[in-house]
Structure 1
Amino acid sequence: MASTYSFDIVSDFDRQELVNAVDQTVREIKSRFDLKDTKTTVELGEEVITISTDSEFTLDAIHTILQTKSAKRNLSLKIFDYGKIEAASGNRVRQEIKLRKGLSQEIAKQITKLMRDEFKKVQGAIQGDAVRVSAKSKDDLQAVMQRLKEEDYPVALQFNNYR
């Protein structure tokens, strides 16, 4: 039997599910009557989604479609970091949506502080853009998971490497 158990807290998303959600969004834009003639483009880059369309009204509709398709594919809406809406050439608007991945140092410090304050038998260590949590009891680790799920962090949290 292992002397200590551990898991990692990360903020990540399934890239293929995001590709599928963006693809479904583009298909719906092409088929919807109110969006058909807007010449809207949705481009998925490595770390950003770029939307170009003819008005802020259609941009809001595209946000709704993208969020709906992402939620159906079990992607957290917290991965989207909406940039400001820019005016583009030809009376169009453009917006970049950055994709959040990894825990920032501030959030990692908040998580470890919460664990130090509330769980005396649990240790937390920041490792790059993840937090390693270890304890002698699996029950303590599960209590930490439950407590972190109750908090509302600006990023989506996942728990992996549970051993």
Structure 2
Amino acid sequence: IYSITQVGYITGVRVGTYMPPLRPTQCRNCQRLRHAAVSCHYPTQCRRCSGNHAVEHCTYKEKLDIKCVNCGGTHMASDRKCPIYLQARYDKLSKDASRPTTTQLPQQRQRAIFIALTHSAKLVHKQVPSYASALAHGIPKRPPPPMYPSGPLL
């Protein structure tokens, strides 16, 4: 599939390996983490003031009125310094690093995941994993071939 350069009449097509994002998914409807608006069943919330309206309809413009939907802090729900966001990022990166398929990603991407995980671990005060332990699973092993009887097959 990676050698495909033409689809129909379109030429110059390049197929690459999917690179999962290094950040957790954040819903644009309710502003919560770990799901997307497409599958959201929560009511709409403002990412600026936590009100029951979209950010486009928010009447609060002062910094004093800002309130995070996720932690209740004095920052917007999209702030990358939110403690709930930092924990969600650490959890996602830990999960990504421990997947067996991570070792099949390009070396540069594996390193990016490890660097982001190390940085994220420091921010949430977790033990920083070594590169080897973060990518410890390696390539999944194949099961042995089935054993057949050594006698003649009937």
TM-score, length of structure 1 as denominator length: 0.25
Higher helix share: 1
Structure 1 or 2, whichever has the larger Rg, is 2
Structure holding more strand per residue: 1
TM-score of the two chains, using structure 2 as the length reference: 0.26
Q: RCO greater where, 1 or 2, for CA within 8 Å and sep 6 or more?
A: 1
